[in-house]
Structure formats: C-alpha cells, structure tokens
Amino acid sequence: MKHFPVFLSVSGQHIALSGGGEAAVAKLRLLLKTEASLTVFAANAVPEIHSWAAQGKLTLINRPLQSGDLTNEVLFYAADEDDAEDARTSAIARDAGVLANIVDNLQDSQFITPAIVDRDPVTVAIGTEGAAPVLARAIKADLEERLSPNLGMLARVGKSFRKAAEALPWGRARRTFWADYYFKSGPRVETKGEVAAEQALDELLFSHLAAETSQGHVAFVGAGPGDPELLTLKARKALDTADVVIYDRLVAPEILELARREAQLIDAGKTPFGQQTPQEVINELIVTHAQKGHQVVRLKSGDPTVFGRLDEELDACAAAGVASHVVPGITAASAAVASIGQSLTKRGRNSGVRFLTGHDVAGFADHDWRDLAKPGQVAAIYMGKKAARFIQGRLIMHDADPATPVTVVENASRANQRVIASTIATLPTDLADADLAGPALTFVGLTPRAATATLTKFQQQELA
C-alpha cells in the first residue's frame, strides 16, 4: 500500500485551492460537501465559482496564489491545469508545510482524493493508487446502486438513537437491534423521512426490549460450603441479576442475602429422612419461572454437580426448551479437607480419591467397600451422618484396620465448624457423643493435621 487511507477531520479547518477552470470546479463540488472553509485563488474564475463565492460558500481571491497566502490550511489543491503553474503553487504549499495535491498528477502529489460514495455520515472511499481509474469508477457505480440514497438519513437518525439503545444489554442483543434497523425496519420507512425513521426505531426498541426480557434462563449455581467468600465471582454476578432464586436447605443465609433485593426467594429445601419437596415439584418450579421470562438462579450448596440431582433439573429444562448453564462451586469435600490441613490425594499414599454418598434415594448406599478397606485409601463421604454404623460394619467386614483414621467435619467453612477426629473402631460412638446438628463430611483415611488447621477470615470474624 503506497497510500494509506484515513478520514481527515476538516470541520472548521481551512482548505485552499488554486485554479478557476473545470478541474477546479470538479474538485470544489466535492469539497463543498465538507464542513471545511474553502479559499480559491484564481485570476479568471468561471461564473460557477463566482456564484458560490456570492452565496458565501467559499472565499474567492481574484489573483494567483502568492507565497505567504497559505498559513494554517490542512490541504491544498493545485488545479490550474497548467504544469508550470501547478508546480509553482504546490511549491508554495510545500514550503508552508501544507499537504498538496496536484490534480491529475499522482507522481507529485502528497495525497490523492479517492472516489467517494457519499451517504454522509456513511462514506465509502475507493482508491486504486492510480492503477485503474476505470475500476474505481465501476466499484463506485456498483455501490451507488446498492446503497440506498436514504442510508445517510438512516445513519444520522440511528446515531442520535444510540443512547436510547443502551437500554438493551451490550453485545448480541444490541447488535441484533441495529441489524434489524438498518436492514429491515429502516429500509421499510426510509422514503418517509426522519420522523418515520425515529418512530420505527422507537417501536423496534420496544419490541426488542420485550423479547429480551421474555427470554427466561436458568443458572445452576454452586453456592459453596457456606462461607460467602468461597463463592465464585460468576455466582455473585448470577445472584446480582436473578429475578428468582430457588435454593436448597443447605445454602447459608449469608449467601441468600447477596441476591438482588427485588429477587423472589423460594425455599426448595429437602430434609433428609424428613419432609421433602419432591424432585418433580422442584423441576416444575424451575421451569415455570423460566417460562415466565425470569432469570432463575437455582442455588445449590457446594458444587451443583456433586450429589445435587443436577441432571434431573437440567433434563427438565431441556425438555421444556428452557436455556440453562452451570456455574461450578466449591464442594464440601474441598472445604472440609482444607480445614483439616490435609490434601485429598498424596504421593505414595493414594493416587485416587472417592466421593461417596452415605445414603441415596434407596437407602444406605453400597460401594466397593473391599477396595476402600485397603490401607491408604481416602474417601469423602457425603450425607454420611446416619450411616456411621453401616460404614463401620462394611469396612470391618472387608478387613479394614479398625485404627484407620476417620475425620468428620461439620459445617465446613462456617463459623460453627467442628472437626471430630475418630477411627473406624470408634466412629459410631464418637458421632453419637458429638451430637451433630449441621451438615457433615466424613473422611475415611484422613486425620487432621492439627498444627496447620486454619480458620477462614469469615470464621474469625464470626468468632470475634
């Protein structure tokens, strides 16, 4: 590219031209479309230039350009159609530091004027660096035909509407709105003028806003183990924008408080072995609210993908054609293991870890207890409080060492967190003594590393 196309700001700037014949008139026609102030130097200007001067459209100086005439011009055109005169005037411009164009002399010009398709404020500039003027004209003719003569008006009206269109969320919603205006509703009214275009924009915005808000959505959000600081930023954003929050029993009240003030909070708590909200009812609750056009947050404790019956709820959304997505959270095992200063896996001890449930819908859950009973195995057991005796029985049955450590963390990450260090042999009695009331995570094969057990900032604040 020998010439780099730019759009020069000329509003309120000065442009000068030397010449008073046909070439000058042709350039002036183009320049008169700009907001620049024009000065023409010509001893014998044709009547058309005189008449523009009389109308105040340009300033005509009835003599040839002299050095000292150019001071603060941004552009200069040498349009005398006389090689010697053009060389003289363009030298004056160059000496004054003004960019000069010599009409029909690409070689000695500092800039060239492209072929222009003008739908102000939409402007298309076409240049071939002098290689193929015919091609430039053909492209221009093609575009002139393709772009409606009213495109400029549509763009002007559109520009003054940009602020109003910010009512739509940035991104896809706004892009679709503008595409609809420029390619559909705008062209339909463009011959009726600006007022009709403004009206079309108003109506279009109204219908896009309505469509935007009627698109319900479900976010399955992990609320983490309880400490609000263990929420992800994505979870916070989802809570900030939710219309409806459907939450589980284990979701901490401190986290519910982060929901948007206007949000409707619905308790879908399920108490194990107690009064339960049937899963079908929860599925229906989620779907119905989304179908009303609400932004629904289905808030689940920990991570939604761990023992959360997430698939049933996802399937219900899919079956109803409701869009959804999953926001992961910190699962109870991660929070609990952090609180005892241990790691879930350890070189030389266990290269895998199991997340198990103590009971499922059918009762106590069965697992590969034989494998688990081997030394060094680690398992994180969810919903295991009531299953202590069952777990003990199965492990002993498969020859586990009764002295194998078992650690129970109640209310992990919360102010009332408790850690009960036990063994397979004493688990049921230790748990009975502890009289656990909150959710508890049982680790088989891990013992608390007392010295490094730490409290989260939230726990310290609550205890202070």
295 scored as a contact of ligand SAH (CB under 6 A): no
Q: How many residues bind ligand SAH (CB under 6 A)?
A: 23
**Residue 412 interacts with ligand SAH (CB under 6 A): yes or no:** yes
383 makes contact with ligand SAH (CB under 6 A): yes
Q: Which two tokens stand for residue 251?
A: 């979701």
Q: How far is the CB of 416 from ligand SAH (least distance, A)?
A: 10
**Cα 416 from Cα 414, distance rounded (Å):** 5
What are the tokens at 316?
């219900």
Q: Which of 89, 404, 411, 459 binds ligand SAH (CB under 6 A)?
A: 411
| Binding flag, residue 336, ligand SAH (CB under 6 A) | yes
With respect to ligand SAH, which residue has the nearer C-beta, 16 or 340?
Answer: 340
Mask for 205-244, x = binds ligand SAH (CB under 6 A)? --------------------xx------------------
Torsion angle of alpha carbons 199, 201, 207, 213, nearest 10°? -130
Segment near ligand SAH (CB under 6 A), from 141-149, 155-163, 164-172, 435-443?
435-443
The answer to whether the Cα torsion of 154, 159, 165, 169 is positive or negative is positive
Is 443 near ligand SAH (CB under 6 A)?
A: no
For the bound state, the minimum distance from the C-beta of residue 164 to ligand SAH, rounded and expressed in Å, comes to 44
- Burial pattern 119-150, b for ≥16 Cβ within 10 A else e, equals beeeeeebbbeeeeeeebeebbeeeeeeeeeb
Q: Of the candidates 440, 445, 456, 458, which one interacts with ligand SAH according to CB under 6 A?
A: 440
Q: How far is the CB of 225 from ligand SAH (least distance, A)?
A: 4
Of 304, 308, 297, which is closest to residue 245 (Cα–Cα)? 297
Cβ proximity to ligand SAH, 79 vs 406, nearer residue: 406
Please tell me whether residue 448 binds ligand SAH under the rule CB under 6 A: no
308 touches ligand SAH by CB under 6 A:
yes
Q: Closest-CB residue for ligand SAH? A: 302
Phi-psi region at 173: left, alpha or beta (left = phi > 0; alpha = psi -120 to 50): alpha
Q: Which stretch binds ligand SAH (CB under 6 A): 16-24, 262-270, 317-325, 438-446?
A: 438-446
Contact 181, 158 (CB under 8 A): yes
Check binding of 387 to ligand SAH (CB under 6 A): no
Cβ proximity to ligand SAH, 93 vs 383, nearer residue: 383
Stretch that binds ligand SAH, among 137-145, 306-314, 365-373, 388-396 (CB under 6 A): 306-314
Token pair, residue 98, equals: 């003004």
**Buried b vs exposed e over 158-188: b needs ≥16 C-beta within 10 Å?**
beebeeebeebeeeebbeebbebbeeebbee
59-61/323-327 β-pairing: unpaired
259 near ligand SAH, rule: CB under 6 A? no
- What is the set of active-site residues? 248, 270
For ligand SAH, the closer of residues 5 and 272 by Cβ is 272
Among 41, 382, 390, 458, binds ligand SAH (CB under 6 A): 382
Least distance to ligand SAH, CB of residue 419, Å: 10
Q: How many whole angstroms separate alpha carbon 9 and alpha carbon 193?
A: 28
Q: Does 331 bind ligand SAH (CB under 6 A)?
A: yes
Using CB under 6 A as the binding rule, whether residue 439 contacts ligand SAH is answered as yes
Q: Residues in the site for ligand SAH, rule: CB under 6 A?
A: 225-226, 250, 300-303, 306-308, 331-332, 336, 382-383, 409, 411-414, 439-441
